[in-house]
Structure 1
Amino acid sequence: MKNILFVSSEAVPFIKTGGLADVAGSLPKAFNKDEFDVRVIIPKYRIIPDYLKQQMQYRTHFYMDLGWQNQYVGILEMQYDGVTFYFVDNEHYFSGDQAYEGGLWDLEKFAFFSKAALSCLPAIGFHPDIIHCHDWQTGLVPVFLKNVFNDNEFYWNIKAVMTIHNLKFQGTWDPKTIMGMTGLPSYLFTPDKMEAYKDANYLKGGIVYADYITTVSETYAQEIQMPFYGEGLDGLMRARNNCLMGIVNGIDYDEWNPETDPMIPVHYNAITFRKEKYKDKCALQEELGLEVNADKFMIGLVSRLTDQKGLDLVDYVMDQICADDVQFVVLGTGNAKYENMFRYFAWKYPGRVSANIFYSNERSHKIYAACDAFLMPSLFEPCGLSQLMSLRYGTVPIVRETGGLKDTVEPYNEYESTGTGFSFANYNAHEMLNTINYAKHVFYNNKREWHKIIDRGMARDFSWNTSARRYEDLYRML
């Protein structure tokens, strides 16, 4: 039996701010239980729902040094969906109103969490062969493991894997403060270890000391070795590219299933979508006050409304996108300029544009089920999950060829009748517009081909099982 410990700052269903939570919460279920014992440890935030907190069992507690402080560490445990979850309890750090509060406080909080996750292992009687760390919040785990805990025999043969979900977020502050706060030795704060551009950098420490590094798509693993995507660490990624690989995330195929989804009005599958899917479209048109017309080309966009998502391209050609024969549905929150832009276009084109400037899981399911096409023109996208949900629901993705979008959406080729979506290469508004118009042309003038694109998309398997097989191979190799 191989023992694996996932260390993460969030995991569904306990706490979620982004795709990281889906990976930490859903991936462990997909491993082969006969060969891998995969457990997860996360902070016990005050904001975890009460019904989950009531199921946690007290395991142990102890006190731990962090820098100049001595802190309480409580460990709770529960089973969820066949996976053992551990929770690190400390009111001082985890009683805030949100998982991430920003600034130095988060750096101290996750330094505490990283050290506690290692310290508790002998006490809970779990000896992992591999500790799998996720993003900058757990970047100090490999650093502590190889430099502070290395005098304890218990930790000698443990390997560390570091997964980068988004290289943009690195966890940086000045070295002197971090040194005092974490108690880490001064020799670690040099450019070949934890220091980058005069700052201490948690993620860099994790990358330097991990035995292997993964990221969430093959293309993103290549992209982050270039300056444009490398966020200042491209040189380090090139230096470590012999132990760097990309593994695409999956989605939960039970939760995202048009045959059984309780949140959509009409169910369908890969065989019946031709007769049933349009009913979801009409239901959503009615709900949002758009013109009810099953033949209208409907484009969806569910996203954080930020620069990363390519919304400046949309802004530039929105008037052309909102032609007479198109409806556009947006769901999400983010930068005020994009929120207001979509509100403005909803006001300018009533009956054609619907701006839902909030987040609703139920509404997102309805949009995936109802729309004909789904737009993702991202500037960069480590993996992206929305295009996977779209494919699952027979909604054709229109994406920019970057990161996970390039790896998961095969561009339509009308001569060979292949492909699962439409894509464009350059970060250019008119190139995006041309691609949207091409998709619209196929939708209106070649329905048979359009349905074949959907057939191929719905036949693809982006469940967690596919990702889990790749991770199992990596664990065996280590």
Structure 2
Amino acid sequence: MKKILFVASEAVPFIKTGGLADVVGSLPKYLDKRYFDARVILPKYMCMREDIRNSLEYIGAFYIDYAGTRKYVGVLKKELDGVIFYFIDNEEYFGGPTPYGDWLYDIEKFIFFSQAALCALPFVDFRPDLIHCHDWQTGLVPVYLKDRFAGGEFFRGIKSVFTIHNLKFQGTWDVKTIKYFSGLSDYYFTPDKLEAFKDGNLLKGGLVYADAITTVSKTYANEIQNPFYGEGMDGLLRARKNDLRGIVNGIDYNEFNPETDKLIYNNYNSKNFRKEKIKNKRALQNDLGFPVDDRKFMLAIVSRLTDQKGLDLVEYMMDQICDENTQLVVLGTGDPRYENMFRHYAWKYPDRVSANIYYSEDMSHKMYAAADAFLMPSLFEPCGLSQLMSLRYGTLPIVRETGGLCDTVESYNEFESKGTGFSFANYNAHEMMDRINFARHIYYDKKREWNKMIDRAMAVDFSWKQSALEYQALYDWLIG
């Protein structure tokens, strides 16, 4: 039995701010339990739901020396879907109203978390063969395994994998501060180790010291070796390219299943969608105060409203997107510029644009089921989950060919009758508009082809089962 420990700052269903939580919450339960004992260690945030906090079982506590003082480390646990989750408790660090907030404070608390998580392993009597670390918050774990934890019998030989979910966030601060909290010597703060552009960089610790690096799609693994996507780390990633692989995230096919989903208006499957899917569209049109009209082309955006998501392209083309045959439904929050832009167009075209400037899991499911097409023209997208959900619900994605979007959406080829969506290559508003118009043309003039595309979209498998096999192969390769 190979023992795997996931160390991360968030995981569903305990705490979630982004896709990282979906990966850490889902992947361990899909690993083959005959061969892998996978466990997870997380911070115990006070901002977790009260019923979840109250369900955790207290194991015990100890103290560690941290930045010149003795710090309390409580350890709790909960078993869920056959996976044991451990929680590190320290209210001074994890008592805030959100998991992340002030940058300097976050640096201090996640360095503490990395040390406390490793110290907790002998305490709970779990010695992993491999520790799988996620994003900058756990970037020091591979460093510590080669440094202060390398000497003892317990930690000797433990391998590490570091996964980049989004290279943009790196955990950087001045060298003096990071040296103080980490307790690492001057040896580690050189440009070939933890120093980057004169600052200390926690993510870089993971990239330099982990035994293998993964990221969340094959295309993104190639993109980040180039300066445009590399966020200053492209040289290091090129140097480690033999240790770097891309494995596409999955989604939970039980949770996202149009046949059983309790959050949508009307259930349907790949056999009866031609008759049943449309009922979701009519119900959503009715709820949003749109004209209830089967002939309207419904386009959905479910997204953080930020530049990364390509919304400057959408802003430039809004009047063309919102023609009299199209209904645009938007859900999400983010940059006030985009929130207000969508509100303005909802005021300008009340029968064509619905701006839902909030986030709701219920509403997102309704939109995936109701819309005809899903727009995601991202500037960069490490993996992306929304396009996987839209494929699952037979809502055809219109995406830019970057990162995970390129790996998961096969662009429609009308001559060979292939493809599961529509894609464009250059970050260009007119190119995006051309693909939206082409999608509308197929929808209106070649309905049979459109339905065949839905057939193919609903048949592709981006469940965690598939990704778990690739991770298992990686673990086997490292552990031997």
Q: Deviations over 1:402-432 (max 9, x none)?
A: 0000000000000000000000000000000
Q: Over aligned residues, Cα RMSD in angstroms?
A: 0.6
Q: Does 1:334 align with 2:334?
A: yes
Structure 1 gaps, min length 5: none
Residue type of the partner of 1:342? F
Partner residue in 2 for 1:378: 378
Partner residue in 2 for 1:204: 204
Partner residue in 2 for 1:2: 2
Q: Does 1:157 align with 2:162?
A: no
Q: Deviations over 1:74-107 (max 9, x none)?
A: 1101101111000000011000000001311000
Identity %: 67
Partner residue in 1 for 2:131: 131
Residue type of the partner of 2:148? V
Partner residue in 2 for 1:236: 236
* Distance in 2 of aligned mates of 1:251 and 1:102: 31
Q: Deviations over 1:333-386 (max 9, x none)?
A: 000000000001111111100000001110000000000000000000000000
* Distance in 2 of aligned mates of 1:32 and 1:216: 20
Residue type of the partner of 2:252? D
Q: Does 1:409 align with 2:409?
A: yes
Note the 1:261-280 alignment, pairs <5 A: 261-280=261-280
Q: Deviations over 1:421-461 (max 9, x none)?
A: 00000000000000000000000000000001000010001
Note the 1:30-429 alignment, pairs <5 A: 30-429=30-429
- TM-score where L is the length of structure 2: 0.99
Kept in 2, the 8 Å contact 1:67–1:184? The answer is: no
Q: Number of residues paired by the alignment?
A: 478
**SS of 2:20's equivalent?**
helix
**SS of 2:317's equivalent?**
helix
Kept in 2, the 8 Å contact 1:68–1:183? The answer is: no
Aligned-pair distance for 1:225? 0.1
Residue type of the partner of 2:189? F
**SS of 1:4's equivalent?**
strand
Structure 2 gaps, min length 5: none
Partner residue in 2 for 1:443: 443
Aligned-pair distance for 1:67? 2.1
- TM-score where L is the length of structure 1: 0.99
Residue type of the partner of 1:303? S
Runs of 4+ in 1 over 4 A off after TM superposition: none
Q: Does 1:453 align with 2:453?
A: yes
Q: Deviations over 1:162-190 (max 9, x none)?
A: 00000000000000111112211111111
Deviates more, 1:410-419 or 1:181-190: 181-190
* Distance in 2 of aligned mates of 1:92 and 1:241: 39
Aligned-pair distance for 1:148? 1.2
Deviates more, 1:54-63 or 1:197-206: 54-63
Q: Deviations over 1:21-52 (max 9, x none)?
A: 00000111101000000000000000111212
Aligned-pair distance for 1:266? 0.4
Q: Deviations over 1:109-157 (max 9, x none)?
A: 0000001111111110101000000000000111111111111121111
* Distance in 2 of aligned mates of 1:35 and 1:272: 39
Q: Deviations over 1:259-304 (max 9, x none)?
A: 1111111000000100000100000001011111112100000000
* Distance in 2 of aligned mates of 1:328 and 1:297: 8
Residue type of the partner of 1:101? G
* Distance in 2 of aligned mates of 1:90 and 1:198: 31
Aligned-pair distance for 1:60? 2.1
* Distance in 2 of aligned mates of 1:287 and 1:342: 18
Residue type of the partner of 2:298? M
Partner residue in 1 for 2:462: 462
Residue type of the partner of 1:298? M
**SS of 2:143's equivalent?**
helix
